[in-house]
Amino acid sequence: MGDWFLSLPAGLRASLIITVTMMIVLSIFGAKVARLKPTDTPSGMTLVLVKLVEMVNDNQRDFFKQHWRTFTPLLFTILLFLSLANTASLVGLTAPLSNFSVAIGFSLFAFLSIQFSALVIKRPLQRAKDLMEPHWAFTPINLIGEMSTPFAMGLRLFGNLISGSVIALFIYSILGWAGVLIGPFLHAVFDVFFGVVQAYVYYMLLSIFLSGAVE
Amino acid sequence: MAEFTEFFAQGMAYIGAGLAVLTGIGPGIGQGYAAGKAVEAIGRQPEAVGSIRTVMITGQALAETTGLYGLLVAFLLIFATGF
């Protein structure tokens, strides 16, 4: 068991660690929120999470007219996972998205979630009609468009994370011990700022494409 | 002769990597244009600075993608050439 875990690439290991941590922490806070009475006031971390959920709900109501209740939990989970994953190098883990398999996994996830929800909510017949939108001759172009946007979303995350880590590696290897002085600024820009912005961009794009596919 | 071919291919891969990184010009122009337009918008409507900043950063992160593709191709050429 331990050997199997240690033989994984560093990015996959970090991804598993973040997933398990998120599951435990969110279960604890979910149980806390479920035990709250309507008259109680949440405090501390619970309050932060409740406020976050409210914020994402308000944000999603702008995208989805009817189905926001179905998709908000999924999109919020993705936003949380990506924000944690992209800032993972701050706590000594390798950023999971700098592993190509994880990035392609995110592409595949976006593709499958868009296609399945479109098929389930809009029924296959209406979906096929949507794909033949201006004229039936446009079907191949529409199909390529359906494939390429999720692929580009995963590749964008991978490119950002790998470029950040490669530049950090270059600067640390050139500066040697002096890298300790410049390191904080490097991580502030490449991990915190770019990582969180890219997480937000992925979340926004997935919301836009999902709402476009189901409504 | 075989050695020459090997070095030649390696050098060409490095030149290709340098050319691929020229894709950075496009996103540079695009991001600068977005920032300039955002400054104009803030000058016209200073109370909307928060939402303008959010939209600007999201749009710039999207425009960055094409440059990153060039960077990925450069990395592939430098590190993944099978010699």
Distance, in Å, from the CA atom of A205 to the CA atom of A103, rounded to the nearest integer, reads 15
* Low-confidence residues of chain B: pLDDT under 50: 83
Chain B residues in contact with A204 (beta carbon < 8 A): 58
ipTM comes to 0.74
CB contact at 8 A, A160 and B64: yes
- Specify the pTM: 0.85
What residues contact residue A103 under an 8 Å CB cut-off, 6+ apart?
A97, A154, A155, A157, A158, A161
Q: Does A165 contact chain B (CB < 8 Å)?
A: no
> What per-residue confidence (pLDDT) applies to A161?
86
All residues of chain B having their beta carbon less than 8 Å from the beta carbon of residue A156 are 64-65, 68
Query: Is B22 part of the contact surface with chain A (CB cutoff 8 Å)?
Result: no
Residues of chain B contacting residue A198, judged by C-beta atoms under 8 Å apart: 61
CA distance A213 to A47: 33
Smallest CA–CA distance, residue B44 to chain A, in Å, is: 26
Tokens of A54: 């409210």
Task: Determine the straight-line distance between the first and last CA of chain B, rounded to whole angstroms.
Answer: 15
Percent of all residues in chain A with a pLDDT value above 90, rounded to a whole number: 14
Task: Answer left, alpha or beta for residue B81, where phi above 0 means left and psi between -120 and 50 means alpha.
Answer: beta
Residue A10: other Cβ atoms inside 10 A: 13
Q: Which tens digit of pLDDT belongs to each residue from A88-129?
A: 888 888 888 888 889 999 999 999 999 998 888 888 888 888
Residue B19 sits at the chain A interface (C-beta within 8 Å): no
Name the residue among A104, A210, A79 with its Cα closest to residue A157.
A104
pLDDT at B82: 55
